[in-house]
């Protein structure tokens, strides 16, 4: 059983977070919404920029670090629902002033953003989930040394509204990754961004999590999907089967049908056993009181996966006044260098750091 040390970080209630060395002092910092917190004890906070608030949301559903202007300092890629705008926030090189905000594009309402190396060139692309409009992928232009050039290319890979849910992984086992949406998957053409992607509407995952995880759950060589219901009850995995005729089908298996708002899912080896665990939790008040299960206790969990069986371990659970869920974009990384991956869990209930102290009991 893992031991965690729980700390509440500041008073922030944004729903996304990330961990990176903001000011180049060799120590990892925590970034969430309007503030970043200086490591290693995260007491000192610095304002990044003011962010529009709507009800108890912030217009910020992603705080991903990326050096956009090639100056060696990591900037932040962000976007939100009401601003409808994909932005990058320029790191002021460790100075204590507000960061400059640059718009990249205005694709439409952004539910959240994920980052995958879609074209296999060694750098991640920016893939926002925009339920109301077609799927776009943004690629940072880089120079020969790979440094960012402050400009982006945009590729739209389908021509219908994407719906709620987004994932990336190799579904068909051909070594290249596909984009998964809630009602099917998109396959890239030979030249990744040169043509429309082919659409395979093989399932309906509901109001799906971002990301939808692609992972061979039962070890049969076929990639399965792990999906949470972002705004309703349910966490399930969809088993990929291919019959003798080569027809693909997806069989749903419940993991946790009675907890709701599983918005963000991540795979990581949290207990150093060489296997990946599913780490996830509830996004507290995902629709500010309008989703089923919003009055339930919230929690942060990891599931050990064993031949198709998911065993839940609870990191935190209880009343939102004192407990932590997972927000819309949580972060897993070894923050303190003790060899065990820690979890930074943002959310409307508060920003919490769970320092992984390894197995002790």
Residues in contact with other proteins by the rule CB under 8 A: 1-6, 233, 256, 258-260, 293, 295-297, 299, 313-318, 322-324, 354-355, 360-361
Rounded Cα distance, 255 and 250, in Å: 15
Closest contact distance (angstroms) between CB of 260 and other proteins is: 7
Nearer to other proteins among residue 108 and residue 293 (C-beta): 293
Return all residues near 197 (Cβ < 8 A) that are at least 6 apart.
Answer: 157, 158, 179, 186, 187, 188, 189
Supply the minimum distance, in Å, between the C-beta of residue 273 and other proteins.
Answer: 16
Whole-number Cα distances in Å, 340 to 19, 38, 208, 271, 310: 15, 20, 29, 7, 21
List, in sequence order, every residue forming a beta bridge with 190; answer none if it has no partner. none
- Closest approach, Cβ 204 to other proteins, in A, equals 22
For other proteins, give the closer residue by CB, 115 or 233: 233
Closest to other proteins by CB, 95 or 314: 314
Q: Provide the residue count of the chain.
A: 361
Using the minimum distance from each CB to other proteins, give the nearer residue, 200 or 304. 304
Q: Which lies closer to other proteins via its Cβ, residue 188 or residue 326?
A: 326
Smallest separation, CB 177 to other proteins (Å): 34
- Asked if residue 49 lies in contact with residue 99, where contact means CB atoms within 8 angstroms, the answer is yes
Q: Considering beta carbons, is residue 198 or 306 the nearer one to other proteins?
A: 306
| Minimum distance from residue 270 beta carbon to other proteins (Å) | 13
Largest CA distance in the chain: 63
Beta carbon nearer to other proteins, 197 or 301: 301
- Report the C-alpha gap between 356 and 302 in whole angstroms: 12
Least distance CB 318 / other proteins (angstroms): 6
Rounded Cα gap, residues 158 and 136, in angstroms: 8
Q: How far is the CB of 96 from other proteins (least distance, A)?
A: 29
* Alpha carbons 133 and 107: distance in angstroms, whole number: 8
Task: Say which residues have a Cβ less than 8 Å from residue 138's Cβ, sequence separation at least 6.
Answer: 86, 104, 105, 125, 126, 127, 128, 152, 153, 154, 155
């Amino acid at each position: 059983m893992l031991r965690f040390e729980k700390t509440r970080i500041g008073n922030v209630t944004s729903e996304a977070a990330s961990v990176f060395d903001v000011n180049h002092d060799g120590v990892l910092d925590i970034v969430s919404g309007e503030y970043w917190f200086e490591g290693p004890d995260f007491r000192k906070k610095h304002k990044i920029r003011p962010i529009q608030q709507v009800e108890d949301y912030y217009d910020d559903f992603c705080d991903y670090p990326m050096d956009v202007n090639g100056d060696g300092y990591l900037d932040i890629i962000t976007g939100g629902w009401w601003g409808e705008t994909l932005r990058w926030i320029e790191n002021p090189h460790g100075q204590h002033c507000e960061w400059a905000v640059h718009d990249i594009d205005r694709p439409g309402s952004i539910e959240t953003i994920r980052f995958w190396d879609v074209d296999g060139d060694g750098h991640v692309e920016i893939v926002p989930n925009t339920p109301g409009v077609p799927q776009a992928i943004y690629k940072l232009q880089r120079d020969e040394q790979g440094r960012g050039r402050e400009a982006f290319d945009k590729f739209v890979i389908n021509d219908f509204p994407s719906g709620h849910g987004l994932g990336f992984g190799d579904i068909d086992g051909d070594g290249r990754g596909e984009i998964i949406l809630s009602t099917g998957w998109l396959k890239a053409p030979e030249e990744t961004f040169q043509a429309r992607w082919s659409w395979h509407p093989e399932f309906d995952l509901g109001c799906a999590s971002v990301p939808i995880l692609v992972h061979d759950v039962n070890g049969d060589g076929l990639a399965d999907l792990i999906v949470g219901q972002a705004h309703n009850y349910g966490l399930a995995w969809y088993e990929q089967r291919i019959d003798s005729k080569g027809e693909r089908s997806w069989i749903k298996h419940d993991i946790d049908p009675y907890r709701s708002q599983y918005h963000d899912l991540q795979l990581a080896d949290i207990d150093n056993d060489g296997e990946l665990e599913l780490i996830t939790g509830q996004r507290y008040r995902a629709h500010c009181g309008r989703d089923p299960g919003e009055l339930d206790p919230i929690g942060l969990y990891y599931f050990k996966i064993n031949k198709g069986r998911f065993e839940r371990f609870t990191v935190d659970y209880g009343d939102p006044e004192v407990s932590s869920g997972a927000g819309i974009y949580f972060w897993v990384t070894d923050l303190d260098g003790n060899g065990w991956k820690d979890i930074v869990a943002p959310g409307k209930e508060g920003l919490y750091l769970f320092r992984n102290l390894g197995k002790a009991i």
